[in-house]
Structure formats: structure tokens, C-alpha cells
Chain A
Amino acid sequence: MLVMNNLSKIYRTQMIETHALRGFDISVRAGEFVAVTGPSGSGKTTFLNIAGLLEEFSGGEYLLDGVNVHGMNDDQRSRLRNEKIGFIFQGFNLIPDLNVFDNVDVPLRYRGFAAAERRQRIEQALGQVGLASRQQHYPAELSGGQQQRVAIARALAGSPRILLADEPTGNLDSQMARSVLELLEEINSSGTTIVMVTHDPELAARAQRNVHIVDGQVTDVLHEPVLRGGEQIGASIQPNL
């Protein structure tokens, strides 16, 4: 599903060259729930941004669902991002002057779905996160947990192959965090691949496998590969130690 080989990302200024990722190897198989952990500044978010095609990488290879993304132009990357990837952010990132329905509608508009299909997908996604009755509410009228559920519905509506979550419970209290995590587990159990960046060891422990990043490199894999439906997943992780 997501394969990075010897990936590097270098930020250059006039004075300094910073290696955010170096010799970065990771492979996430379809249907996995992977937690990415690491200290601040280790490169977790850079990894997630590159994985989400929001940033380009400096070297190496990245295959998303079998497609080599190297050399793609902005339109191609945007289209691939829209079709294959769903994002969940720590700050929810809902558009404040759009109601719940219209927020979930945004990625579907860019996909070019017809109105009827968009409505059906939005209602289904909101039903899945338990917010079918809040379609006309604006983000400011919802709790943090509900806002994050809307963000999850928005990520799910386009039926992405992979969900990328950046500290999805970082802004929530423990009860809401638990509820959101249960929702992610439910989504994963229905076959959607999830890669979640988190600082929280408890959350990381709920994932099927943990990938630890230090100084822009994968240093550790904390969980054993697990079996789902007879298929071994996560076996191809090659941490650089």
C-alpha cells in the first residue's frame, strides 16, 4: 500500500542543510493500522506529509498503492491524493463557514462526483461516524470530539485506500480520544489502511504495529506482525538500525 525505499528529505536554507529524513525505509501493507512514534523533530510529520503527497522528497523511492509518485506534477499529485488518501489532523481543520455536510462535501467536489452520489456518500460517512443528524451544524456548534468525527467522515467519504492521521486525539480529552480511537479501529477493521502519528504510548499500543522514528530514520518496530484473515501484514518493515 505504502512503500518508501531509502527516502530522504533535505530542507535547505542559505546557511543550513537539515536532513529531516535519511535512508528512510518503510512498507505498510493494505489493511494495516500502523502507529508512528518518535520524539519531537524526529521526522514524523515530514514522513506523513510526504506520504500524503503534501511535500516532495529529495531522494529515494515512494510507491503509493503501487504507483511511483516521483516526478508527478501538482495536478497528478492532487488527483492521487484526492483518490487514495484521507487526512485526519490534530486540529480537525474543518472549514468554519461551511456546515458539516459541506465540509464532508469538499473532497468529493474535487473528485467530480455527481450531486446524487456526493449526497449518498456524505450521508453514509456521517452515519458511520454517528453524526447523521448534525449535517446542518457548523463546526463551532460541535464539540471537539464531534469535529474530529466530521473530519474522519470527510476523510472517509471518498473511500480512500489509506487514512493518514496526525495526532488525531491530541486536542481531545481522554473520553473523546478513546471514542475517536475506537472509531479508527472500526474503520481499520473494515479494511482501510491507517497510518497514525502519535506521541501517546497508550494510543500507539492500540495499533497493530509501531514504527519508531529517530533523527529521520526508522529505528524500531515494536509489535510483531499480526495476522488478519489469514494474511500476514507488516512483515516487510525494514528498519534502519
Chain B
Amino acid sequence: MFRYYLNLGFRSLRRNPVLTILMVITLSVGVAASMSTYTVLHMMSGDPIPHKSDRLFVPQLDTGGMVGYTAGEEPDDQLSYPDTQRLLASGQGIRRTAIYGINDAITPERADMAPLLANGGATTADFFAMFEVPFRYGNPWHADDDARKADVIVLSRATSEKLFGDVDPTGKDLTMGETSYRIVGVLGDWQPLPRYYRIINGNGGAFAGSDEFFIPFSTAVRHEKRNSGNNNCNGDGPEPGYAGWIASDCTWIQFWFEGASVGEQASIKAWLDDYASEQHRLGWLKRPVNTRLRNTMQWLEHLEVVGRDSRIQVWLAFGFLLVCLVNTVGLLLAKFSARAGEVGVRRALGATRSAIFQQYLIEASVIGLVGAALGLALSFAGLWLIGQQSGAMAAVAKMDWAMLLATLLLSLCASVLAGFLPTWRACQVRPALQLKAQ
């Protein structure tokens, strides 16, 4: 009977076409509004590395001075260079990495190309394995290169293609600033959303921009590269010069631990507390122990990667969908009421109440199906409009398969939900009254 009811549902679209069109439009506009905003939220709040996000931890230490100190306040989001060095050497977790942003001018080997100002990151060899960065050519540098402060570089795919075209440039030399670096690898397509591994950056924020190259952390320090992002210092600030800066308690480095298991979050946190306690005793950390160790999703939440405005927009859009649903209920009531006579006839010919219920609910679903198709098209249009606002919005205003399926399901569920009351009313028709009235 399902096919029969489905067939009747499609035929019914042609009956009262104005009502049908109104219902489809109402439903699709509501679905499009809610799904386009929800898609943006979904893309913003998605887990960028779902299979290990709960094993990647960001440590925070309270490096502030005692002036203006309030107990328990949120520690700084970045670490100082001395703390970074000690945490890298701590042996905690199975991998540790630190990263800070740098930029410099690249001199292309082609004479006809102007120098490029490139944004990148200074990090350690563990970075690539920890964040499972794909490589198109070559490999990451080795831990030895970190230790030797070697002049090696990994390029992003876009940077490599810009400089060398679609060929493997590994082994070649690249001049950046005053230094010649040997290219050891070229990344594959890698643009995690959000850019969780380095949310605090000076080139695009969480959803736009990308790192165009990576060099070893130790090499960057050897070449006295300043960071291109946020730098917080206490009191009178660092001593003059690069050496004074890196020896200070200024915070400018993002740090990650990778644990072997989820449970390691507790043990690393305990170690971090011990470390902070020791450094407080030694006088390096001025404030009493106040640490945090957040996993990836906790970290993104802490940094409010998804703003409150985005969530409110989604709530408003779903409220609008509710209004559309109420309208659809009214339109369906009108459509089904006009067919009370048909219900009476079908009941007289042997249809049970449940058969009528199924028929009309499937009919409402067919409207939902058509509404879903239009709603999907309108959602794409809505996302395109959202994407026009900024580069960051363009990065997240994209529908993935899950959202596409969710849009179809939402439309279908919405129509079934809207169809319940009208369908129930249709089932209550007293056939005797309708047959006489026909």
C-alpha cells in the first residue's frame, strides 16, 4: 500500500496547486533558513580531528605577575619560551610540539617572479605526526634537524605550486629572508576547519588563511625570528634584544601534548601542576599553581571559536522554521478539510482509520519531499550569500554530505510533524455525514 499512497500523494500535489505551492514554499524557506545557519555552525563547531581530538591536549600556565592578581582567573592561552623548552623536554605524552607564527619574504628562483611575503609556522618534527599532516612530496624533517637547528623547510601545496609549478621541489634550495633552506617536503591538501592547531594567529583567524610554510622551531629561534601573532608580557616587559625576549616570561607560543590514551589527560595535568608548583617555588612563576589542560574540543570551546552570535542565529532560524511549520499545519488543514468527502468515500469502501492516517501522512511527506528539494536549493543559495560576507564565512559556508542528508531529513520530519494534526483530523471524519453531504 505504501507505493499506492505515495502515488496518491504525488497526484494530490496537482490538486489545489496554489495551496501546494504555498506549503512547499513555506516549508522550504523555513528549512533553508535553519539549515544554512546550522550548516555554518556545524562547520564551525565540527571536530577537526575526531579520532584523536580527545588525546590532543593544550597546557596553560599562569605566568602573570602579582599585580592585579585574582585567584583562579583563566591562565594565559600561550606559553613563554623557557616554559616551552622545559615542556618539550618533559617526556610527557607520546608527542610534544610547540608552534609560533612567523612571516618572511621568499625569493623565487624564477627571475620573473617578485618576492613573496609568506606566513608560516615554526614548529617541531612531532607536529606533522601529531596532527597527521598529509604530504604530497617528501617528508617532514627529523628530530635531528630540530636538534641541529637545520635550515630545512616544508612548503604548503599552494606555495610549492606558486613557486615551482606542479613538480616535486624537494631537495631544492629556497631563499627566505637572508637564509637558504632546503625543501624537504610539500604538504598535501590540508586545511583543517577550524585551524585548531594554531587558532591564535596573525593571518586569518580560525577559519581563513593558512600556513604557507613550516620551519623547525629551533631554526627560527636561531635566526631570531619574531612571532607574527599575539605576544603578552608582564610588568616592564622583557630585557632588550632577542635573547632578552626569549628569556622572558612573555607568552607567544602554542603548545600541544599528544597522549597515548584519553586517560593521559589526568596524568599530564598532574605533571603540569607539579611543574607549576616547582617553578613557583623557584620563583619563575609568580602566582600560585593555576594550570589547565584542555583537549581539542575543550580548547576550541574555551577560545569561543564558535561565537554566541552564531548560536543565537541558529536558534532564531529554527524559531522561524517553527513559524513556517505552524503555517504549514494551517495550510494542510485547509487542504485536507477540503477532502473530507473523499475520506468519507474511502471509509465507506473499506478504508480503516489507520489506512486513512497512513495515506494522508505519506501525502504530507510527499509535500515535505518536494519542500526538501526546494529547501536544499535555497540552502545552497543562503550559504552562497553567507559566504559573500568574508573569507572566513566563505570557508565555513559549505554543505557537507551530513548536512545535505540532515536537510532532507529535516524537511521530511517537519512535513510529517506538520501533517500529524491535519491527518488526525482527517481520520476523525464521520463518513455517514460526508457521504450525505456530497
B351 at the interface (CB under 8 A from A): yes
B346 touches A106 (CB 8 A): yes
B353 A97 Cβ-Cβ under 8 A: no
Assess whether A75 is in contact with B352, with CB atoms less than 8 Å apart.
yes
A129-184 CB contacts (< 8 Å) to partner B: 154, 158, 166
Instruction: Give the residue of B1, B11, B435 whose beta carbon is less than 8 angstroms from that of A54.
Output: B435
Residue of B346, B349, B351 most packed against chain A (CB within 10 A):
B349
CB <8 Å contact, B349 and A82? yes
Known contacts A75-B354, A111-B350, A95 near B345 by CB under 8 Å: yes
- Is B419 located at the chain interface by the 8 A CB criterion? no
CA distance A83 to B341 in the complex (A): 22
Q: Please determine whether B351 and A87 come into contact, CB atoms closer than 8 angstroms.
A: no
Q: Give Cα distance in the complex from A82 to B1, angstroms.
A: 16
Determine if A93 is an interface residue (Cβ-Cβ < 8 Å).
Answer: yes
Contact of B432 among A49, A75, A111 (CB under 8 A): A49
- Provide the bound-state CA to CA distance between A229 and B361, in Å: 50
Which residues from B are CB-within-8-Å of A54?
A: 347-348, 430-432, 435
Q: Which residues of the other chain, A, contact B436 by a CB distance below 8 angstroms?
A: 45, 166
Q: Which residues of A are found within 8 Å of B342, using beta-carbon distances?
A: 95
Chain A residues within 8 Å of B11, by CB: 97-98
With A93-B341, A97-B14 as given contacts, are A82 and B350 in contact (CB-CB < 8 Å)? yes
Residue of B nearest to A83 (CB): B350
Does the CB pair A79–B350 fall under 8 Å? yes
Q: A54-B431, A89-B435, A89-B438 are in contact. Are A154 and B348 (CB under 8 A)?
A: no
What is the distance, in angstroms, from B33's C-beta to the closest C-beta of chain A? 33
A166→B344 CA distance, assembly (Å): 15
CA distance A119 to B215 in the complex (A): 78
Select the residue from B354, B430, B435 with max chain A CB neighbours within 10 A: B435
The yes or no answer to A81 lying at the interface (CB within 8 A) is: yes
- A52:B348 contact, CB within 8 angstroms: yes
The minimal Cβ–Cβ distance linking A36 to chain B, given in whole angstroms, is 15
Task: Please give the number of chain B residues whose Cβ is less than 8 angstroms from any Cβ of chain A in the complex.
Answer: 26
Q: Which residue of B lies closest to A84 (CB)?
A: B350
- Given the complex, which residues of A lie within 8 Å of B1, measured CB to CB? 109
List B contacts of A98 (CB < 8 A): 11
A175 vs B400: C-alpha distance in the bound complex, in angstroms? 68
Cβ-based interface call for B4 (8 A): yes
A110 and B350 form a contact (CB under 8 A)? yes
- A16 CB to nearest B CB, Å: 18
- The chain B residue with its CB closest to the CB of A87 is B348
Nearest A-chain residue to B4, judged by Cβ: A109
Q: How far is the CB of B22 from chain A (nearest CB, A)?
A: 19
Contacts of A97 in B (CB 8 A): 11-12, 14-15
Task: Please name all residues of chain B whose beta carbon is closer than 8 Å to the beta carbon of A82 when the two chains form the complex.
Answer: 349-350
Are B15 and A81 interface neighbours, CB within 8 A? no
Please tell me if B355 contacts chain A, counting CB pairs below 8 Å. yes
User: Which A residues, 19 to 74, have Cβ-Cβ distances below 8 Å to chain B?
Assistant: 45, 49, 52, 54-55, 74
Provide the residues of chain B in CB contact with A83, threshold 8 Å. Answer: 350
**Of B348, B352, B432, B438, which is within 8 A of A74 by CB?**
B352
Contacts of B345 in A (CB 8 A): 93-95, 106
Complex CA gap A111/B432 in Å reads 21
Output the least CB separation between A105 and chain B (Å): 9
- Chain B positions within 8 Å of A87 at CB level: 348-349, 435
A219 to nearest B CB, angstroms? Answer: 23
B347: chain A residues within 8 A (beta carbon)? 54, 78
B146 to chain A, nearest CB (A): 75
A24 to B352, CA, bound (A): 28
> Which of A45, A91, A107 is the one whose CB lies under 8 Å from B349?
A107
By a CB distance below 8 angstroms, the chain B residues around A55 are: 430, 432
State how many angstroms separate the Cβ of B435 from the closest Cβ of chain A. Answer: 6
**Which residues does chain A contribute within 8 Å of B355, judged by CB atoms?**
78, 110
Q: Provide the residues of chain A in CB contact with B353, threshold 8 Å.
A: 74-75, 78
Q: CA separation between A107 and B350, bound complex, in Å?
A: 6
Mask: chain B, 9-37; 1 = CB below 8 Å from A; 0 = not: 00110110000000000000000000000
Report how far A82 CA is from B347 CA in the complex, Å. Answer: 9
Smallest CB–CB gap between B245 and chain A, Å?
81
Say whether, besides A97-B15, A109-B4, A78 and B435 are in contact (CB < 8 Å): no
Residues A91 and B438 in contact, CB atoms below 8 Å apart: yes
Contact A110 B432 (CB under 8 A): no
Nearest-CB distance from B335 to chain A (Å)? 13
B351 touches A110 (CB 8 A): yes
Shortest CB-to-CB span from A208 to chain B, Å, is 25
For B341, list chain A residues within 8 Å (CB): 93
Q: How far is the CA of A86 from the CA of B347 in the complex (A)?
A: 12
Residue of B whose beta carbon sits closest to that of A75: B352
Measured between C-beta atoms, what is the minimum distance from B72 to chain A in Å? 66
**7 tightest Cβ-Cβ pairs between the two chains A and B:** A82-B350, A110-B350, A107-B349, A49-B432, A91-B438, A78-B352, A54-B432
26 inter-chain pairs at a CB distance below 8 angstroms, sorted by A residue, are A45-B436, A49-B432, A54-B347, A54-B348, A54-B431, A54-B432, A55-B430, A74-B352, A75-B352, A75-B353, A78-B347, A78-B353, A81-B348, A81-B349, A82-B350, A89-B438, A91-B438, A93-B341, A95-B346, A98-B11, A106-B345, A107-B349, A109-B1, A109-B4, A110-B351, A166-B435
Residue ranges of A at the interface with B (Cβ–Cβ < 8 Å): 45, 49, 52, 54-55, 74-75, 78-79, 81-83, 87, 89, 91, 93-95, 97-98, 106-107, 109-111, 154, 158, 166
- Extra contacts besides A87-B435, A110-B350, A110-B355 (15): CB < 8 Å: A52-B348, A54-B348, A55-B430, A78-B350, A78-B352, A81-B350, A89-B435, A97-B11, A97-B12, A97-B15, A107-B349, A107-B350, A110-B351, A111-B350, A154-B349
